[in-house]
Copies of this chain bind each other. A is one copy, B any other.
Amino acid sequence: MPEQPELTIQGWGPHPADASADASGERAPALEATLPKAARRHLARELGWTPRSTPPVGIDEIRLPASRLPDDARAALAGVVGEENVRTDRESRLRRAGGKSYLDLLRRRSGDASDAPDAVVLPGTTDETAAVLALCSERDVVVVPFGGGTSVVGGLAGIDPDDRPTIALDMGRMASVQELDVPSSMVRVGPGMRGPALEEALDRSGLMFGHLPQSWEFATIGGYAATRSAGQASTGVGRFDDLVAGLTLATPSGVLELGHAPASAAGPDLLGLAVGSEGTLGVITEVALRVRPKPATTAYEGWSFRTWAGGLAALQRLARHDLLPDVVRLSDADETRANLLNSGSAGARVLRGMLRARGHAEGCMLVVGWEGLPDIVRARTRAASALLREGGAIRLGRPVGEAWRKHRFGAPYVRDTLLDSGLLVETLETAATWAALPTVYDAVRRALRDSLTRGSRRPLIMTHVSHGYPTGGSLYFTVLADRDEELPIQQWLAAKRAATDAMLTAGGTVTHHHAVGADHRPWMDREIGPLGVEVLRAVKARLDPKNICNPGVLLPD
């Protein structure tokens, strides 16, 4: 198994030691070393912002409250998982404090770790996990399952209405392949396994899994399952939901084994109830996943549309004819412009010139990726290209596609640098039918702009469609603004509230792949209706009668 690097505490690293401001990799490189001059200028102009240095406090300065875990509970837990797997040391707790949302990072950067768990417990098996849950249920200890710690919706906030002691249940010891069933194209793995380790394990058999969210380097299989994740190639390989063939859920009331056959009509889909449960019903202790042969061909390329509406219409036509590529990513004009400036390469300059000459100066770039058997890829590419051309698109060729691919995991590292320079940086996402998508796009942008504009300061909102479905697509918004250093949290909360209200009113879902966590709870009544919430409560009451399983997420107060 490859060495798994640990995520840094205050951001998204480790950063390369040579570029970083410190040797630990905790500190991000400087703004000048990260963005080309043209991009910095563009940002300054768009945002009405002047770069300034806003570094985080040192790791040692982070304030961590004393652990509240009672000694007898600690001893009982150690009896189940072993002394060495119950940890209350400063570093263990700090590393499991919250996730990686903008607000999480603001807290950690300002020295606040009041949301850290009282202890970290690492079970080794399903039985140990079940025993921990039974024990915590008995002793009124809250359990927050911890995978990779990459939640961006407060999934690890550990909020408890009764303010009980809280443990982070880290799945890191259950991180290996249990069984590979090649004829059935299935693999069973521990929930703590990360994507890179899984791909490496499958590689020997000529297989791949192919779930590639931007957080791929650090997120875990259990976390993906708990949050209904979607990866960059989900249009082709399927959302994580689609790739789960079965799972084991340990709950305070016992263990559920769900989803054996490839398909069944034996009543409602209980597997689909466990997937997306975000730790509220129990802990996912094993996952069976669909795998596939590594593709014989991969082809990534870029296209350009004169307008956003034209791009959306073309995607809709591809979807209708079952010709969506495996990776599909249509950027709006704001995102396209920023991407071209950020690249800073000679190729990008040539490209900008060419686009201007062809009337695409304000154009929208599309990256498509095709994977599979050569003949099939060829036939699909040809048919799709014809539709794209009919829709007015210009083909930009492979280098554009390859450039995107090369940097696909890069953006979050850059975020640390931007946070060091006085910026607000966060993302939002949703999905809607093709009919509703343009309205949702306009409504969310308007809400963000209205909320984040202050005098000469205004946000830059960059948007792309990241996933296509037969009936609609997703929208992913990246928001940059000059940070309000007085009330940074309130600044973002107000914008997020306005954008989310707008999103739901216009017909979008509150989240396409980030999950509910603590942050989206207030909208669940609108998302699934008050009666839908009651159904989830009834299930939770049956499986977790003492409400110890991640009580601070998913369900509204």
CB of A442 within 8 A of chain B? no
> Are B272 and A535 interface neighbours, CB within 8 A?
no
Complex CA–CA separation, A293 to B383 (angstroms): 15
Residues in B with CB closer than 8 Å to A2 are none
A265 proximal to B (CB < 8 A): yes
Give Cα distance in the complex from A323 to B435, angstroms: 31
Determine if A267 and B184 form an interchain contact, defined as CB atoms under 8 angstroms apart: no
Per-residue interface assignment for chain A, residues 223 to 253, with 1 indicating a CB less than 8 Å from any chain B CB and 0 otherwise: 0000111100000000101000100000101
Residues of B within 8 A of A239 (CB): 263
Docked pose: A430 CA to B241 CA in angstroms: 23
Q: Which one of A184, A316, A542 has the highest number of Cβ atoms from chain B below 10 Å of its Cβ? A: A184
Inter-chain contact B262/A433, CB cutoff 8 Å: yes
Which one of B181, B254, B528 contacts A435 once the chains associate, using CB atoms below 8 Å? B181
Contacts of A383 in B (CB 8 A): 373, 375-376
A410-439 contacts to B (CB < 8 Å): 430-436
Chain B CB within 8 A of A273 CB: yes
Known: A254-B531, A290-B470. Contact between A432 and B261, CB under 8 A?
A: yes
Contact B184 A433 (CB under 8 A): yes
Q: Are A267 and B262 in contact (CB under 8 A)?
A: no
Number of chain copies forming the complex: 2
Contact between B261 and A268, CB atoms less than 8 A apart:
no
In the complex, what residue of chain B is closest to A386 when comparing beta carbons?
A: B375
Q: Does A87 contact B (CB under 8 A)?
A: no
A386 to chain B, nearest CB (A): 9
Q: Is the Cβ of A532 less than 8 Å from the Cβ of B474?
A: no
B contact residues around A508 at 8 Å (CB): 261
Contact A270 B535 (CB under 8 A): yes
Partner of A471, one of B245, B256, B375, B472: B245
Total interface residues in chain A, CB < 8 Å: 97
Residue-by-residue, is A521-555 near B (CB-CB < 8 Å gives 1, otherwise 0)? 00010011101101111110111000000000010
**Which among A22-30, A98-106, A165-173, A275-283 touches the partner chain?**
A275-283
Q: Does A505 make an interface contact (CB < 8 A)? A: no
Scan A363-391; emit 1 where CB is below 8 A from any B CB, else 0. Answer: 00000000011011011101100000000
A535 touches which one: B186, B515, B529, B542 (CB < 8 A)? B542
Q: Does A257 contact B (CB under 8 A)?
A: yes
Bound: A265/B234 CA distance, A: 13
A277-B268, A375-B379, A375-B383 known; A292+B263 contact, CB < 8 A: no
Interface pair B535/A472, CB less than 8 Å apart = no
Does A456 reach chain B (CB closer than 8 Å)? Answer: no
Q: Give the chain B neighbours of A262 by CB distance below 8 A.
A: 431-433, 469-473
Contact A268 B263 (CB under 8 A): no
Q: Report yes or no: B263 in contact with A467, Cβ–Cβ below 8 A.
A: yes
Is A490 among interface residues, defined by CB-CB distance under 8 A?
Answer: no
A100 to chain B, nearest CB (A): 16
- Give me the interface of A with B, judged by CB distance under 8 Å: 181, 183-186, 227-230, 239, 241, 245, 251, 253-258, 260-270, 272-278, 281, 290, 292-293, 316, 319-323, 372-373, 375-376, 378-380, 382-383, 430-436, 467, 469-474, 507-516, 520, 524, 527-529, 531-532, 534-539, 541-543, 554
Give 4 A-B pairs besides A261-B431, A261-B509 with Cβ atoms closer than 8 angstroms: A256-B532, A261-B430, A263-B472, A265-B516
Sampled A-B contacts (19; CB under 8 Å)? A183-B435, A229-B265, A230-B263, A245-B471, A251-B531, A260-B433, A261-B430, A262-B473, A263-B469, A263-B474, A264-B527, A267-B554, A268-B275, A270-B535, A293-B320, A293-B321, A375-B382, A535-B543, A538-B542
User: Closest 8 interchain pairs by CB?
Assistant: A379-B379, A261-B509, A262-B472, A269-B272, A272-B272, A262-B469, A538-B542, A184-B433
